[in-house]
Amino acid sequence: MLAYERLIALEGAHNVRDLGGYDTAEGAATRWRSILRGDALHRLSEGDIEALLGHGLATVIDLRNDRETATEANPFASRSEVRYHNTSLFSALAPIEMMAETAVRFDMGERYCRAIDECQPAIAEVLTAIAQAPEGIVLFHCSAGKDRTGLISALLLANAGVAEATIVEDYALTETISGPLLARLRERAIGRGTSSALVELMLASKPESMRMALAHISQNYGDVPRYLAHIGLTASAIGELKARLRQQ
């Protein structure tokens, strides 16, 4: 059996990893080299790009907003070898600094819960793009590969039947494997005048934050497949998402 590494080693990105190899409730496992999650790709070298194409990359979905894509352009936006999409996932939310200022105790999980309720059209657009993607690897990403990417990853894994504990572990991996990336983002945020305390909250991948988001879905929508139907995905699209992550 071919062995795969979860983290894709690249020079210009630190958090591109595979959603394969996770056990599901039905005794199967998620499929390797089908869906990748990642951080910003603007620093990728030509060697990195060729390596990803060599793995079979066919679709790139950029979850960043217009300001982010304008200042740090996606190298795949102009590559004919891949289908490129850009959906600003959290554009319906208030800036994180504003959310934190109005809360007595702020947790990133609160932002995920707000996104689940308030960013439904964008979430549906991203998941539909994944369901309809051509053969080959789908890579979706944001800036750190933690929040916007983490929410989409959680929905995909839960829809495929992966246990909550495993979904939470996958989310928390960012904090343990992305030291150089987090250090750069920390320096940049503090340079913009963001308080160090808020920066640490923003960059943390605390398991309880993802548990809060998954509990919010359970309490308000029933489960992830019902949530996906609620936001407008067809039964066919929900099935396609599940099939894409399941071993053949």
| Per-residue model confidence (pLDDT) at position 1 | 38
| Per-residue model confidence (pLDDT) at position 195 | 73
Question: Does residue 20 contact residue 4 with C-beta atoms inside 8 Å?
Answer: yes
Q: What is the tens place of the pLDDT at every residue in 88-130?
A: 999 988 776 665 555 546 788 999 999 999 999 999 999 999 9
| Per-residue model confidence (pLDDT) at position 208 | 95
> Domain 17-242 sits in which CATH superfamily?
Protein tyrosine phosphatase superfamily (3.90.190.10)
Distance CA 67, CA 164 (A): 34
| Per-residue model confidence (pLDDT) at position 4 | 77
Distance CA 116, CA 110 (A): 10
Question: Which stretches of the chain score pLDDT less than 70?
Answer: 1-3, 96-105, 178-179, 181-182, 185, 189, 247-248
Question: Does residue 141 contact residue 12 with C-beta atoms inside 8 Å?
Answer: no
DSSP of 88-136? -TTTTSPPHHHHHHT-SS--HHHHHHHHHHH-HHHHHHHHHHHHT--SS
Q: Where are the domains of the chain?
A: 17-242
